[in-house]
């Protein structure tokens, strides 16, 4: 039985979701210190100009002290949710399955969001249901530098991230930009639809061995 430890991220990458799909048990890291410029609060989608970053603005501590990710509040002075939704609609309106999932995805971008961690976990709940995943989930109670589980927390790094190559599939702008590797799970979902789970389960990711 494989058990992996990873950070809840904002609309996780395809490789991130493949790791979950291929695990028996997933432990979400709840006791880490928040770090800037990671996938905790960002994701990439395909757009007419190439990769587009969707970033969730967060409130940093006034005195510069470290915050635990589970305590980080979202900055709502900027209408980031409506911006993200409009970007998705613009990017994926012509994709095969966007209209199929739009009614389920839209509430994620209209709900009241206060805490980053809570919102990320809510997103996972919705994604598991849409994709049809039934992976067992639990939550860490202490931070371990050398955990007993397989440590996939590296997958949250945006800087110096490990190169993870996934199997190409048809994307909306593939003729313009070529295949854009390892985007948000949203890209796979709206392009592959009900085939997304089978795709995730068959990925041979070297980092998972």
Kindly report, residue by residue over 151-169, the tens digit of the pLDDT. 999 999 987 667 788 999 9
Longest dimension (CA), the chain: 48
Q: How would DSSP label each residue in the chain?
A: --EEEE---SS-BHHHHHHHHT-SEEEE--SPBP-SSBTTSEEEEEETTEEEEEE--BPPPTT----BGGGPBB--SS-HHHHHHHHHHHHHTTSTTHHHHHHHHGGGGTS---BHHHHHHHHHHHHHHHHT---EEEE-SS--SS-SSEE-GGGGBSTTPPP--------TTHHHH---TT-BHHHHHHHHGGGHHHHHHH---GGG-
Single out the residue of 146, 2, 147, 7 nearest to residue 72, CA to CA: 7
pLDDT at res. 208: 52
pLDDT for residue 144 is more than 80: yes
User: For residue range 17-72, what is the model confidence (pLDDT) as tens digits?
Assistant: 999 999 999 999 999 999 999 999 999 999 999 999 999 999 987 776 789 999 99
Please check the confidence at residue 8 and state whether its pLDDT lies above 90: yes
Structure tokens at 20: 């979950």
Name the residue range of residue 70's domain: 3-208
Total domains in the fold of the chain: 1
Provide the whole-model pTM. Answer: 0.94
CA separation for the pair 70, 31 (Å, rounded): 7
As given in the structure block, the two tokens for residue 136 are: 């067992």
Q: Are 182 and 16 in contact (CB under 8 A)?
A: no
Count CB-CB contacts under 10 A for residue 46: 25
Q: What percent of the chain has pLDDT over 90?
A: 88
């Amino acid at each position: 039985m494989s058990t992996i430890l990873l950070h809840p991220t904002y609309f996780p990458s395809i490789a991130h979701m493949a790791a979950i799909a291929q695990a028996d048990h997933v432990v979400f890291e709840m006791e880490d210190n928040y770090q800037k410029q990671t996938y905790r609060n960002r994701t990439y989608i395909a757009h007419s100009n190439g990769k587009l970053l969707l970033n969730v603005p967060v409130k940093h501590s006034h005195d510069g002290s470290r915050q635990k990710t589970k305590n980080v509040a979202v900055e709502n002075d900027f209408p980031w949710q409506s911006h993200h939704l409009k970007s998705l609609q613009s990017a994926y309106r012509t994709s095969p399955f966007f209209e199929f999932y739009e009614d389920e995805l839209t509430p994620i971008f209209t709900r009241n969001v206060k805490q980053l961690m809570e919102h990320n976990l809510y997103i996972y709940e919705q994604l598991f249901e849409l994709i049809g995943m039934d992976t067992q989930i639990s939550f860490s109670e202490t931070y371990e530098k050398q955990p007993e589980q397989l440590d996939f927390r590296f997958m949250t790094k945006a800087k110096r991230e490990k190169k993870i190559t996934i199997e190409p599939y048809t994307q909306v702008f593939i003729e313009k930009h070529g295949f854009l590797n390892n985007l948000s799970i949203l890209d796979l979902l709206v392009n592959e639809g009900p085939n997304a789970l089978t795709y995730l389960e068959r990925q041979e990711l070297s980092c998972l061995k």
